[in-house]
Amino acid sequence: MVAGSARWLPLALATALGTAGIPAAVLSAPAPVLSRQSFVADAVKRTAPAVVTIDTERTVVVPGGAVITPFPFNDPMLRQFFGMPPGGTTRIPPSQRTERGQGSGVLYDPSGLVLTNAHVVEGSTRVMVGLPDGRRVEGKVVGADPVTDLAVVRLSGSGSWPVAQLGDSDTLQVGDWVIAVGNPFGLDQTVTLGIVSSLNRNAAKLGLTDKRLQLIQTDAAINPGNSGGPLLNADGDVVGINTLVRSGPGAGLGFAIPVNRARSIAQQLVSSGSVSHAMVGVALEPVREANGAIGRGAKVRSVMPGGPAARGGLKDGDVVLAAGGQPVSDPADLTQLVERHGVGRPLVLSVERGGQPLSISVTPVELSSLMPR
């Protein structure tokens, strides 16, 4: 452009002017070749050898009973002729049948320890673990925790077991890439890609009122058979254990247990075979402001008679704003803080009752001690 007016140069001249002063070696260098291998391939290559198939068998007892004998064998003469017992009914004795199931798991310890879901191995009488290298090894359930849907299986015998690296789920952010690996529908080593859609999804909001979990939500496809398999980050570290998928309307929502939670549960299962869950005996609900907005804290909906909260003086309608000096933003926060605090030690709750602040001390007890027998 010269003196404010646009002038166009011939292409050859423009090219010559544009490359003036650029070394010939640079001009003749080949264009960079884009890699055909994605970060997903690298991540899967690192961890896939430790992702296993878990085949289970469980014995189910079918109760016996009496059934009405169909015509014509309800005729007394025919029954006598065929040697059938008198009467119009036939007694069927109890029987047994074997149910088979399948899930996924991930080897996380060189001694042969596998992390999976509790519902994968629940009630199993036999567990067989299949490795990607073709080995099939019998496994023994070390322990299972239905409250967090986690279980640990130990492989029998000694061997060189491939191990996945457990990462840090606390570093996850919404939008991070995640990779689900497992064996859906018996299709070994299936890999799907997605992102972290949300963090800290309360299991109770998904209808799982018997679970104590804050879940990772992802749009990576998780299908039946993926349960117990790992959710990986972009580096191939395990950041979650896949546990369930939303089917029907709203399908495409998958959920995983954060690996930091899974690691803690696994340590307890290996050391004692069971998991301690602290509870104070209250039912909670969100705090509602006058305008309908959700406020900060956890409102006590009901108090279990004779429980730690009742003994400490907590009442229906109280709003818990802090526990042990840590702020409580919602009911899930309080549940988590009580669980982290543990059993048998006093926990000071900062409470608001009728607009007045109070401090109430409660001593959490084991969840199982408050469950109906």
pTM value is 0.74
> For residue 195, which of 241, 232, 168 has the smallest C-alpha distance?
232
Dump pLDDT digits (tens) for 183-241. Answer: 888 788 899 999 999 988 877 777 776 777 889 999 998 888 888 999 999 999 999 99
pLDDT at site 155: 95
Find all residues with CB under 8 Å of 132, minimum gap 6, and list them. 48, 49, 51, 52, 162, 188, 189
Supply the mean pLDDT for the chain: 83
Dump pLDDT digits (tens) for 74-123. Answer: 666 666 666 666 665 666 677 777 888 899 999 999 999 999 999 999 98
Please give the residue that has the higher pLDDT: either 305 or 185.
305
DSSP letter, residue 42:
H
> For residue 240, which of 272, 214, 206 has the smallest C-alpha distance?
214
Tell me the C-alpha distance between 284 and 320, whole Å: 10
Find all residues with CB under 8 Å of 78, minimum gap 6, and list them. 72, 84
DSSP string, 246-289: E-STT--EEEEEEHHHHHHHHHHHHHHSS---EE--EEEEEEE-
Please give the residue that has the higher pLDDT: either 371 or 194.
194
Dump pLDDT digits (tens) for 4-50. Answer: 444 444 434 444 445 555 555 555 556 555 556 788 999 999 999 99
CA separation (Å) from 150 to 17, 145, 244?
68, 5, 12
Find all residues with CB under 8 Å of 307, minimum gap 6, and list them. 279, 280, 281, 282, 365, 370
Dump pLDDT digits (tens) for 59-72. Answer: 877 776 665 555 55
Q: Which residues are catalytic?
A: 119, 149, 227
